[in-house]
Amino acid sequence: MTQAARVVLSDCRGALSELQAPGLQGSNWRRRWITAVVLLRAVFHVLQNVDADAKQNPRMKAAIDAEWASIRKTRPDPKIFWEFIYEERNNVLKEYKLGAGQSVTIHVPPAEMWLGDRSRSIPSIQGQVELSYPMQSGPFKGMDQRDVVAQAIEWLEKCLMRIDAAASV
């Protein structure tokens, strides 16, 4: 079984959960984003360096090698791997360039709601703050980055299931 890679995948789910925390912003967001991206890429590294130990299970090594060959053969597809997991991790580790961003929108009530009767003092404006986390580039541009991470986790889970199935035959 793809046991070591599944531990990393579980940590990917935990990183996604942390990215979904309300009010996440600034350097706290950036560190969580980097953690999620690096963990997503680590799944295949751990597969190839730990789970693919031929001495332990030659069928597992063959299944992992076949899955990796299939992914390399279809490049640039799947985009979730090549243009998100692979590229974003390289951008972060090699250039500290993030393909995701964060933005803040403050919704302020209309002026007549708080000016109304000028004989009263003007209350403080209580706007609603809305944080968003869009992808800034690539095929996932404009999508919520947390949705892209969830899609990557789902894709990796399917890869691990195919590998486990092939290794058990």
pLDDT at residue number 131: 82
Long-range contacts of 164-167 (CB under 8 A, 24+ apart): 164/1, 164/2, 164/63, 166/59, 166/62, 166/63, 166/66, 166/67, 167/1, 167/57, 167/59, 167/60, 167/62, 167/63, 167/64
Read off the tokens for 136.
């800034």
Domains of the chain: total: 1
pLDDT at residue number 32: 96
**Is residue 133 one of the residues assigned to a domain?**
no
**Is residue 43 one of the residues assigned to a domain?**
yes
Tens of each residue's pLDDT in the chain, 169 residues: 899 999 999 999 999 999 999 888 899 999 999 999 999 999 999 999 999 987 889 999 999 999 999 999 999 999 999 999 999 999 999 999 999 988 777 666 665 555 555 555 555 556 677 788 999 989 999 999 999 999 999 999 999 999 999 999 8
pLDDT at residue number 18: 96
Range of the domain at 56: 3-98+141-168
**Is residue 50 one of the residues assigned to a domain?**
yes
pLDDT at residue number 56: 85
pLDDT at residue number 103: 78
Of 47, 55, 67, 69, the closest CA to residue 1 belongs to: 47
**Is residue 119 one of the residues assigned to a domain?**
no
pLDDT at residue number 102: 83
**Is residue 163 one of the residues assigned to a domain?**
yes
**Is residue 60 one of the residues assigned to a domain?**
yes
pLDDT at residue number 33: 96
**Is residue 124 one of the residues assigned to a domain?**
no
**Is residue 30 one of the residues assigned to a domain?**
yes
